[in-house]
Amino acid sequence: MTYCVGLLLNEGMVLLSDTRTNAGLDHISSYRKMFRFEQPGERTIVILTAGNLSTTQATLARLQEEIEHPEASGERSILLAPTMLKVAEIIGACLWSVRDAVDRRIRGEGQFGPASMIVAGQRKGGAMRMFLIYPEGNFIEATEDTPFLQVGEHKYGKPILDRMVRPDTSLADGQKAVLLSMDSTLRSNLSVGMPLDLATIRRDECRVGEQRRIEPGDAKFAKMSAAWSKALQDSFAKIRI
Amino acid sequence: MTYCVGLLLNEGMVLLSDTRTNAGLDHISSYRKMFRFEQPGERTIVILTAGNLSTTQATLARLQEEIEHPEASGERSILLAPTMLKVAEIIGACLWSVRDAVDRRIRGEGQFGPASMIVAGQRKGGAMRMFLIYPEGNFIEATEDTPFLQVGEHKYGKPILDRMVRPDTSLADGQKAVLLSMDSTLRSNLSVGMPLDLATIRRDECRVGEQRRIEPGDAKFAKMSAAWSKALQDSFAKIRI
């Protein structure tokens, strides 16, 4: 499986993904699940992927091809699309058509190729927007009421987001929240694994300001994880029932 | 859905269940999911149920009937079974046969009737044992390495159990851990709801020592929940990344 999460905050957007991919328990690999399409200052789009790897790779390859050959693609380049909504529509349609083609071939094997994605971005003059694209290509959007979106193994790490994330949460606190949400997920579910990819996009900068790969054994992450564990233990000891 | 959790600790066992049942979003009801079968001092068995309500109710009704008419049941009374392992086998077989009968009838409707259970108990002279009975009637047992079992919506509340529960956890801390695990689940998933049923069985007492229903608005639970929220917020504010 996978765990990816995105926050849509007043100050900007925070995105985090793991890298574990598995086809059965004895075929575990590491694959990047965060992809950036950008004309810095003009337009930035970050895609986080979950689900069938052949589906997500084929979808991204097709999106890339349409960016490189916009004349052939019939207005399917996400770097030329007039709005972020149109970007989400293009990605949703592409994801569905790839998945549908995969499904036709592997359905006979009792397997299916669904995948879902978080698409976050902003174009110059437009608003920051973040979408969750479902395997069928339809999508929902993050809002003030629900400022975070998750794909993959989302349940373990949801309680801390429910408690900590509001639209006025700072980018620094947003990074902390997604990392602690991931930390809980890593501890409870083997199908989610390091390294992690963390990206931050400040409002109206239309570029990824910070992108960081957090490797296994990363000192800062380990320290944060240990400090959070200790804080939880201390808080637990103090609570009365 | 449902969330039920049981801890097997050195000092005894702690069991907690919610009461929400839903058949679609507009048909929500409250049903007890904790059931006690007991000859105090001789044998205690507590069953927590998750899944299809008609399956769990029919299974419990059959178990009750076999207790009341042991002569007719061919040694299927869980109050007469020689060991807790045999108790788990009887319950597993009963659950599977009920579910199988339900499935045959409703499969045509595209619906299924699976259910799972946690069975915890001790008979005089035997060890405390706790089992998770799967919908197919097979089961696994809690051990020193894995001293807790969950059924239903288990993911939201698992991180806190992973961090806090060891076999040498006290009964008081065990109660705290399951209540906080439930609190996280209640916040993140609408299909789990108050009131709650909490039971504690001390080692070798062979009876439920404390059984408490926690109603919505219960002052102690609300206080604990608020204190935990505040402790998490304070800890979160102190963590550096």
| 10-residue averages of pLDDT along chain A (241 residues) | 95 96 79 95 97 92 92 84 96 93 73 88 97 95 95 94 95 97 92 94 97 95 94 91 79
pLDDT digits (tens, 9 = 90+) for B28-74: 888 899 999 999 999 999 999 999 888 999 999 999 999 999 887 66
Q: Cβ of B241 and A175 within 8 Å? A: yes
Looking at chain B from residue 75 to 114, which residues have their Cβ under 8 Å from any Cβ of chain A? none
pLDDT digits (tens, 9 = 90+) for B71-104: 876 688 999 999 999 999 999 999 999 988 877 8
**Average pLDDT of the segment spanning B2-14:** 97
The pLDDT of residue B38 is 96
* pLDDT at position A54: 87
What's the whole-number mean pLDDT along residues B195-224? 96
Q: Using CB atoms, pick whichever of A157, A158, A231 lies closest to residue B238.
A: A231
Within 8 A of A210 by CB-CB distance, chain B residues are none
In the predicted structure, residue B116 carries a pLDDT above the cut 90: yes
Chain B nearest-CA residue for A188: B159
pLDDT at B114 over 90: no
Interface A–B counts its CB contacts (< 8 A) at 98
Under the banding of pLDDT at 50, 70 and 90, the label for residue B108 is low
CB-based contact A176 B227, cutoff 8 Å: no
Determine the pLDDT at residue A225. Answer: 93
Contact A31, A21 (CB under 8 A): yes
pLDDT (0 to 100) of residue A43: 97
The answer to whether the CB atoms of A188 and B236 lie below 8 A apart is no
Which overall architecture, per CATH, does domain B3-235 show?
A: 4-Layer Sandwich (3.60)
- Chain A positions in Cβ-Cβ contact with residue B220 (cut-off 8 Å): 241
Count of alpha carbons within 13 angstroms of residue A1, beta-carbon side: 15
Residue B60's pLDDT is: 96
What SS3 string covers B28-73? EEECCCEEEEEECCCEEEEEEEEECHHHHHHHHHHHHHHHHCHHHH
Question: Is it the case that residue B174 has pLDDT exceeding 90?
Answer: yes
A171 touches chain B (CB under 8 A): no
Q: What's residue A227's pLDDT?
A: 94
pLDDT at A21: 86
DSSP for chain A reads --EEEEEE-SSEEEEEE--EEESSTT-EEE---EEEEEETTTEEEEEEEEE-HHHHHHHHHHHHHHHH-HHHHTS--TTT-SSHHHHHHHHHHHHHHHHHHHHHHHGGGT----EEEEEEEEETTS--EEEEE-TTS-EEE--SSS-EEEEES-STTHHHHHHH--TT--HHHHHHHHHHHHHHHHHH-TTS-S-EEEEEEETTT-S--EEEEE-TT-HHHHHHHHHHHHHHHHHHHH---
Which of B164, B235, B238 would best serve as a mutation to test chain A binding (most A beta carbons within 10 A)? Answer: B235
Q: What pLDDT is stored for residue A75 in this prediction?
A: 79
Contact B155 A179 (CB under 8 A): no
Radius of gyration of chain B (CA): 18
Confidence of residue B105 (pLDDT cuts 50, 70, 90): confident
The residue behind tokens 């507590």 is B46
Check if A184 contacts B (Cβ < 8 Å).
yes
pLDDT-based confidence at residue B133 (cuts at 50, 70, 90): very high
Nearest residue in chain B measured CA to CA from A169: B237
Q: Does domain A3-238 have CATH number 3.40.50.1370?
A: no
Which of A155, A190, A223 to probe the B interface (max B CBs under 10 A)? A155
Q: Write down the domain spans for chain A.
A: 3-238
Closest chain A residue to the Cα of B163, Cα to Cα: A229
Output B1 or A90, whichever has higher pLDDT. Answer: A90
Nearest by CB: B188 against A162, A234, A241: A162
